[in-house]
Amino acid sequence: MTETNGDIAIDLKDVTYQIGDRTILNGITFTIRRGEIMCIIGLSGSGKTSLLHCIGALDHVTKGEIWIDGTQIVGMNEKQLNLVREKMGMVFQYAALFDSLTVFENVAFGIRRRRNLPEDEIRRLVTEKLALSAVPGTESLLPAQLSGGMSKRVGLARALAMEPGILLYDEPTSGLDPVVATVIDDLIVDMREKLKVTSVVVSHNIQSVFRTADSVAMIHEGKLIAVGTVDEIKNSENPIVQQFIQGKAEGPIELTRR
C-alpha cells in the first residue's frame, strides 16, 4: 500500500463521501505536494470542512482513495488510522480549547494522551510550540482570558504539539478582524518556512488565500471545479470561480458568505 513519489504529501483519487443518501463530496481528485500550502475555497456548505475531515481521517469516505505520505488510508482500521492521524495537526474553525484547562494543559493534552514523556520534556515542547505560534508565556491563562486571535494561535500550538508533517486548518481567520487575520496568515506561511510542513487551509477569505496559497482548489456543491496555482485560479475561465474570487453578489451562484 505504498507509493514511491516522495514529492507528494496528499493524493486524493475520486473521493466520494455520502451521509445517508446525500452526496457531500463527489469524485474529488487532486494532489498536494510536500511543503506546499494548498487552500480550499468554496461557498458555505460546499463541502470544504467535510473534505478536510476526510483528509484528516476524522470522517470516512464512501469511495475513492486518500494517500497520506504514500500510504492509502481508506479502509484502514482505527488502530492504523490513529497512527496516520498523528502525522496531521488539525486547527479547528472554533479554537475548540477545553475551557476548564489552562493553555498549558490544552497544548499538552495530545502529548499526554499519546506519548509517554517526562514532565520536563512536555514542558519544553509546550513552551516551544507556544513560542512558534506567537503566544509565548501564556501557559497559565484560561481560554476565557484569550482574545479571538490568541485562541486561534493556541489552537495552532496544540496542533503543533505532536510535531505533525501536515497541518490542516479550518477557516483559521474566520471571525477575526483583518489585522489579526493577517497575523494568522503570516503564521501559516511561517510554519511552512520553519517546519517545512504541508498545509491544507480551508478558507472563504479570498484575500488570505491569495496572500498565502501555493495552490488553490475550489469546491462547489461537493465537486472540484478548479485547481491550480493562485495565478491559474485568478485567470480561470469558470464563471463560478470568477464570481467567487471577485465577491460579486450577481452571477451564476448565490453568494452567501458569513
Ligand X SMILES: Nc1ncnc2c1ncn2[C@@H]1O[C@H](COP(=O)(O)OP(=O)(O)O)[C@@H](O)[C@H]1O
Which residues bind to ligand X, rule: CB under 6 A? 19, 22, 24, 42, 44-50
Cβ of residue 94: shortest distance to ligand X, in angstroms?
Answer: 13
Pairing relationship of beta strands 37-41 and 198-202 according to DSSP bridges: parallel
Closest approach of ligand X to the CB of residue 223, in Å? 12
Q: Of 49 and 208, which CB lies nearer to Mg ion in the complex structure? A: 49
Binding-site partner at residue 83 among Mg ion, ligand X, none, CB < 5 to 8 Å by type: none
CB of 128 to ligand X, least distance (A): 31
Binding mask 1-40 for Mg ion (x = CB under 5 A): ----------------------------------------
Distance from the first to the final alpha carbon of the chain: 41
Other Cβ atoms less than 10 A from the Cβ of 3: the count is 12
Choose one: 49-57, 113-121, 140-148, 187-195; the region binding Mg ion (CB under 5 A). Answer: 49-57
Beta carbon nearer to Mg ion, 111 or 224: 224
Min. distance of Cβ 257 from ligand X in angstroms? 10
- C-alpha distances (whole Å) from 118 to each of 4, 115, 127, 129, 135 are 36, 9, 15, 17, 23
Minimum CB separation of residue 124 from ligand X in Å reads 36
Nearer to ligand X by C-beta: 104 or 244?
Answer: 244
In the complex, residue closest to Mg ion by CB: 49
Q: Please, are residues 68 and 84 in contact by the beta-carbon 8 Å criterion?
A: yes
Applying CB under 5 A, among 49, 133, 203, 205 the residue interacting with Mg ion is 49
Nearer to Mg ion, 89 or 126 (CB): 89
Quote the CA–CA distance of 146 and 164 in Å, as a whole number.
Answer: 25
CB of residue 206 to Mg ion, shortest distance in Å:
15
Residue 5 or residue 44: which is nearer to ligand X going by CB? 44
Quick one: 194 or 257, whose CB is closer to ligand X?
257
Cell of 133: 505560534
User: Considering CB distances under 5 to 8 angstroms, the limit depending on partner class, which of ligand X, Mg ion, none binds residue 42?
Assistant: ligand X
How long is the chain?
Answer: 258
Of 42 and 56, which CB lies nearer to ligand X in the complex structure?
Answer: 42
Contacts to Mg ion by CB under 5 A:
49
